[in-house]
Amino acid sequence: MSYVSEDTIAAVATAMSPAGIGIVRISGPDAVRAADLVYRSPKGKTKLSEVPSHTIHYGTINDQDGQVIDEVLVSVMRAPRSYTAEDTVEINCHGGVLAVRRVLDTVIACSDRIPVRLAEPGEFTKRAFLNGRVDLSRAEAVMDLIEAKNDYALKNSVSQVRGSLYEKITTLRSQILYQIAHIEASLDDPEHLDYSSHIEELGESVGEWIRQIRHLIDTAEDGRLASEGIRTVIVGKPNAGKSSLLNLMLGEERAIVTDIAGTTRDVLTETINLQGITLLITDTAGIRQTDDRVEKIGVERAKESASGADLLLWIVDSSAPLDENDSQICSLLEGRPAIILLNKSDLDTVVEESNIRSLFENKEEGRSIPVLSFSAKQKTGFDELVGMLKDMFFRGKLSWNDEVVITNMRHCSLLQRSEESLKRVKESIDSRMSEDFFSIDLMDAYEALGGIIGEEIGDDLADEIFSRFCMGK
């Protein structure tokens, strides 16, 4: 794939916030010439257009009036050995929103002599993709890398940037393409090539491809939970200790905690990282029958939050008897992953695990939901809670070694399409249908897999994907 752009683009490639260093990136056919217009070496003799590729030069950035904007280090990288596979210049200036912005404005201001425009979101990575520098799966992993919320998401993104998914997909595609070519050749020349003797072999191969693709699809839910976070909602009666649990997880007094029942009136959501597990955790109003109009709204919002959760943490005040409100909360747990915490275990308890089990009326989930003795005040049971989360969502582990894990829903959808196509091939083989039926569905599977790495996508889809990137990447 080769992409030639007449545009030279520039943008800030680092966060727009105070920092030690900020980088302004310029890419395109006139990147070096544009940088020459604003760069001055200490003695005024060095021209960036004359320096070797992959070198760094000290100097200043000056505006059109010769005013010094900043002291900088300028990196020159000539095509195709750059991130975009185009001529690229990176101006490393002092960090800070104003300083970096002024350097960028100075570069853009030279457009009356050499056209330079502001880059669109994701345009640098889009050019890298269009120039064949990276495939689409690696390009999308770049954004996942930037947005990683925990060590697992970071490791998985780095693995995909390095091409782990690309290698898996290209291997599958090459195997499928080999069989398509074999079938097409036999259809074109049936007198000399008889494919019937290879049908059993094809059936075995298709079965193996389905197994591999299904395995990738099965990783998608774990991948989503680990990268985006487990949507967790804390439910319970007023004054059971929900806000105390949230504060314990955060390590700070984020939620107001008092002895007054009904203190929390609205939902409060925070992102928490617990030993590599990311929780998008929501503290809710205590669920109980109430005539208070505001509190009633809070209770309804608590129920709405619970309905969309990946996990419910039911906080039970084990020092107070169960009542009809507990039965109401119990119904929210039906068909949903949950953990029940018998809080205030440091006090005289009147609620035991058996009392909780009895609320489920012998329903299956009542026997399978884990119940843990807990004290938010004394911080007992916390490590056990983290262990339960790992067992529940990640089979007790958060590392898949070098296993490819799907974190992108677009990839998952294309894998599902490919799987369905291969299943049709299997059905055609079992029904002893003609080889040309095999070829049609094999090609559909091949094209679906190609969409993951960008071999089979249109310009509109590419524009949509890269528009989600941050500015400067």
**Amino acid 214: pLDDT:** 95
**Amino acid 261: pLDDT:** 43
Beta-carbon contacts of 281 under 8 Å, excluding residues fewer than 6 positions away, are 232, 233, 234, 246, 249, 269, 270, 271, 272
CA torsion sign for 154, 307, 285, 344 is negative
Smallest Cα–Cα separation from 317: which of 245, 392, 385, 232? 245
- Cβ contact 231:280 at 8 Å: yes
pTM of the model: 0.71
**Amino acid 293: pLDDT:** 65
**Amino acid 255: pLDDT:** 45
Smallest Cα–Cα separation from 300: which of 313, 311, 312, 286? 286
Burial tier of 102 (Cβ tally within 10 Å: 0-12, 13-18, 19+): middle
HSE (side-chain half, CA atoms, 13 Å) at 224: 12
Q: Reduce the DSSP state of residue 111 to 3 states and report it.
A: helix
Show the tokens assigned to 372.
């843990």
**Amino acid 90: pLDDT:** 97
Cross-strand pairs, 460: none
CA torsion sign for 152, 157, 163, 168 is positive
- Cβ contact 74:89 at 8 Å: yes
Question: What does each of the 473 residues of the chain score in pLDDT, given as a tens digit?
Answer: 455 568 999 999 988 788 889 999 999 999 999 999 999 999 888 899 999 999 999 999 998 888 999 999 999 999 999 999 999 999 999 988 888 999 999 999 987 788 999 999 889 999 999 898 888 888 888 888 777 776 677 777 788 888 889 999 999 999 999 888 888 887 776 666 666 777 888 899 999 999 999 999 988 877 777 777 888 888 888 888 888 888 888 775 554 444 444 444 456 778 888 777 788 888 877 676 665 666 667 767 777 777 778 888 888 888 888 888 888 888 888 778 889 989 888 888 888 888 888 887 656 655 678 888 888 888 888 888 888 887 877 664 545 456 788 888 899 999 999 999 999 999 998 888 877 788 899 999 999 999 999 887 777 777 877 887 777 87
**Amino acid 367: pLDDT:** 63
Q: Reduce the DSSP state of residue 455 to 3 states and report it.
A: coil
Cross-strand pairs, 311: 232
Q: Reduce the DSSP state of residue 315 to 3 states and report it.
A: strand
CB neighbourhood size of 3 (10 A): 15
**Amino acid 262: pLDDT:** 44
CB neighbourhood size of 242 (10 A): 32
Run of H or E including 36: helix 31-38
Q: How far apart are CA 232 and CA 373, in angstroms?
A: 19
Q: Measured in whole angstroms, how far is the alpha carbon of residue 64 from the centre of its chain?
A: 43
> Cα separations (Å) of 393 from 214, 337, 398, 441?
19, 9, 9, 35
**Amino acid 190: pLDDT:** 66
Domain annotation for the chain: domains and CATH numbers: 9-133 (3.30.1360.120), 136-454 (3.40.50.300)
Q: How far apart are CA 130 and CA 427, in angstroms?
A: 38
Beta-carbon contacts of 230 under 8 Å, excluding residues fewer than 6 positions away, are 277, 278, 279, 280, 310, 311, 389, 393
Residue matched to tokens 């889809």: 461
Q: How far apart are CA 158 and CA 164, in angstroms?
A: 9
- Cβ contact 124:27 at 8 Å: yes
Ranges assigned E (strand) in 64-140: 68-77, 88-94, 117-118
Smallest Cα–Cα separation from 136: which of 459, 445, 416, 421? 459
DSSP classification of residue 262: T
**Amino acid 286: pLDDT:** 67
